[in-house]
Amino acid sequence: MIDSKEYIKQHVRTVPDWPQAGIQFRDITPLLQDPKVFRALIDIFLARYANANLNYVAGLDARGFILGSVIAYELNLGFVPIRKKGKLPFHTISEEYDLEYGSATVEVHTDACKQGDRVLLVDDLIATGGTMLAGKKLLERLGAEVIEAAVIVDLPELGGSKLIEQSGLKVFTVCD
Ligand code: PRP
Ligand code: ADE
């Protein structure tokens, strides 16, 4: 029987030269499309965080929303969206960061979580780590404790997961 992590890895497609020349884009849509693989993936996160005593799951725009909201629902927790600039309607705080292919700003509502909340931060992938670190900073500015950064894929050659761990946040990756 095939190992579920290997099965998941086989469903992440690499698209060369997208969104620009030289980028090997890791596309998770084949994984989401297959219900058995999608469930196997979510089950890995559920097993890891079922007893983590969390208050919220936070997801990074946009693919962190797909994973994070399902994990939050299954763990009976609230979901916190960390959105790209200009999308959230209420009072927000912002963090700017650099990406493998440009720069961006993410925002969170000021009442999304509070002092002492234990939050799991979820995205599909870590490349330079800029997105995850910006999310961590936002949640910490609200007083929350980010207990782990959970992703499907890490691109270790870009150094992001190392930077995140150096900042004091543990990283959990499904496909090593
Ligand atoms: C991708 C990916 C992560 C981020 C990782 O999103 O889904 O959020 O890049 O890169 P980093 O580790 O270098 O920060 P992207 O910013 O392309 O946005 P999208 O989800 O809106 O496509
Ligand atoms: N975000 C930054 N780099 C990426 C990559 N290579 N594939 C998918 N998402 C990314």
Q: Residue 128 is part of a domain; what is its CATH number?
A: 3.40.50.2020
Residues 25-50 have a mean pLDDT of: 98
* Angle formed by the axes of helices 63-74 and 35-49, nearest 10°: 60
Going by pLDDT thresholds of 50, 70 and 90, the confidence category of residue 108 is very high
Residue 165 inside a domain? The answer is yes
Cα 119 to its chain centre, rounded Å, is 12
Residue 30 inside a domain? The answer is no
Q: How many CB atoms lie within 10 A of CB 65?
A: 19
Ligand 2 atom closest to Cα of 25? 7
Does ligand 2 come within 6 angstroms of the Cβ of 85? no
Residue 24 inside a domain? The answer is no
Residues 48-73 have a mean pLDDT of: 98
Residue 85 inside a domain? The answer is yes
Residue 41 inside a domain? The answer is no
- Regarding an ipTM greater than 0.85, the answer is yes
Distance, CA 54 to ligand 2 centroid (Å)?
A: 28
Determine what percent of the chain is predicted with pLDDT higher than 90: 95
Question: Does the pLDDT at position 148 exceed 80?
Answer: yes
Does ligand 2 come within 6 angstroms of the Cβ of 117? no
Residue 34 inside a domain? The answer is no
Distance, CA 92 to ligand 1 centroid (Å)?
A: 20
Structural domain span for residue 128: 53-175
∠ Cα 41 120 104 (to 5°): 95
Residue 3: predicted pLDDT? 82
Question: Does the pLDDT at position 172 exceed 60?
Answer: yes
Ligand 1 atom closest to Cα of 62? 20
Catalytically active residues, by annotation: 63, 100
Residue 127 inside a domain? The answer is yes
Residue 43 inside a domain? The answer is no
**Closest-approaching ligand to the CA atom of 130:** 1
Residue 2: predicted pLDDT? 63
Number of folded domains that form the chain:
1
Q: pLDDT per residue over 78-88, tens digit each?
A: 999 999 999 99
Residue 125: predicted pLDDT? 98
Does ligand 2 come within 6 angstroms of the Cβ of 29? no
